[in-house]
Structures are given as C-alpha cells and as structure tokens.
Amino acid sequence: MTTTDFAAMTGLELMRWVQTERPTDIPSIGRLLGMRFDEVDHGRIVISLDTRPDFANPLGTVHGGIAATLLDSAMGCAVHTTLPAGTGYTTLELKVNYIRAARIDGQTLTATGTVIHAGRRTYIAESKVLDDQGKLVAHATTTCMIL
C-alpha cells in the first residue's frame, strides 16, 4: 500500500500523481473499469478506457452506466484539479444525454471533462465521451458542491 499523503496534495497534484503512478494497489472505480488518465490540467481532464464484454447491457452494447461513470469521473476529476489541498467536493446533480451505442469489443472510449463555472460553493462541469472514430457517444453536465 502507498504511503503518499493525499490530504497534503492539491487536487491537481493528486490527479497528476494518479496519472503518472497509475496505482494498482488502491481500490477505485478507475481501477475496476481500467480507466487511464491521459491528460491532466487545471480544470480539464481526459480519461479513457477500453470496452470489454463485461460492460455489456442485455442488447450487447456498452451499458449506459459505464458511459455515465466515465462522464462523472471526468467531470469530478476536472473539478478536483482546481481545489486546494484538504478541500473536497460532491456531486449534486448529473445530467447525461446518450447519443449512440458503443461496442464491447475493445473500443476505446475517451471522456474529456472541463470546468465551465467555478463558484464559491458550487462548480459546473461538462464532459463528452467519444468513441475511437471520434463520434460522440454521450454528453453530460454536473453541478458539484465544494465541501
């Protein structure tokens, strides 16, 4: 297990640590789904994953919850990159629009999350998931409360 002091890190430092260290010994939704942190900047995150048969819905395409989790993770992590050490957040609202189905055969899905409003107590972020052909799979917005 790691001895890194996460509470002492800013959100941006923590997200960059996750990007470079790719910890496998810390349980997380990212580890479970195989998420990769491709880009980490202040107020912006790019996360990708490769689909697999375990992600299937009864119709044989990627379950909407996988896309929603990818969107939520990208938006939440984008918000996190703007926060000082010791500051947390929680999702107040998540709105997802599904555009097209994604395949379960190893297709790469990429979510870009961006903070579009940083208030004193609430933040608003948006995210898009694109497939490996650059086609829009889903779009979302979120409101987060700063703790």
Q: Each residue of 99-133: pLDDT tens digit?
A: 999 999 999 999 999 999 999 999 999 999 999 99
pLDDT at 2: 54
Mean pLDDT for the chain overall: 95
Cβ distance 86 to 7 under 8 Å? yes
pLDDT at 94: 98
pTM assigned to the model: 0.94
pLDDT at 42: 98
Structure tokens at 17: 């640590």
What would the pLDDT profile of 39-62 be if each residue is shown by its tens digit?
Answer: 999 999 999 999 999 999 999 999
